[in-house]
Amino acid sequence: MKRGWCFTPKDFLDLGSQSAIWQALSRLEKKGVIRKLMRGVYDYPEKNTFLEGYASPDPDRVARTIARGNSWNIVPDGTTALNLLGLSTQVPAEWSYLTDGQNRRYELGGIRIVFLKRANKEASELSRDSAILVQAIKTLGKDGIDERVLKKLSEYLPASSWAKIVKECRYVTGWVLDVLKQAADHATAREGQV
């Protein structure tokens, strides 16, 4: 796997016993090959040449790893979705996700990762990309959508992916679908100019 990969011991259960996996991970951690982020969550850290050390772990990767380890489905909520799309320049102190799992909070080097148990019918059948887009648009609200936002949304995916997104989101709230269609048109126009 590439640097930046985040994992749990469960990802290796097909390779040996649980105790053997824990021992191997412990040895790799002591050698500095991997980094323990929290109980049961590790990463193969990316190097930061500027600081001559390791880069901070990506909170979204950590959240997805925790969810995968617990067999939860998650959807980035509100400002987390805005941040993932580049619509917010603020680094959030809390990364929030809707889940079909348990309400949980985790600390990651001064950043909180929060899972909120919610039935989110609108996002439950969507792909990750569609769910992020829908959550971000709903967070901004109708009045928060302007040309700058449409441009940023359109840049999230290549034009070839937007037909699938629009089709997948056909049952979401009408105004949200309209925004997605406008973003798809912007993406098509942008790639047509290249």
Residue type, 95: W
List of the chain residues with pLDDT < 50? 194
Can you tell me the distance from the alpha carbon of 112 to that of 38, in angstroms, rounded to the nearest whole number?
Answer: 12
Can you tell me the distance from the alpha carbon of 123 to that of 120, in angstroms, rounded to the nearest whole number?
Answer: 6
pLDDT in tens, 121-130: 666 678 999 9
The residue behind tokens 């489905």 is 73
Phi-psi region of 69 (alpha: psi -120 to 50; beta: other; left: phi over 0): alpha
pLDDT at 120: 65
> What DSSP designation does 69 have?
H
Three-state secondary structure of 12-73: HCCCCCHHHHHHHHHHHHHHCCCEEEECCEEECCCEECCCCEECCCCHHHHHHHHHHHHCCC
pLDDT at 88: 87
Can you tell me the distance from the alpha carbon of 73 to that of 70, in angstroms, rounded to the nearest whole number?
Answer: 9
pLDDT at 52: 74
Residues 6+ apart with CB under 8 A from 178: none
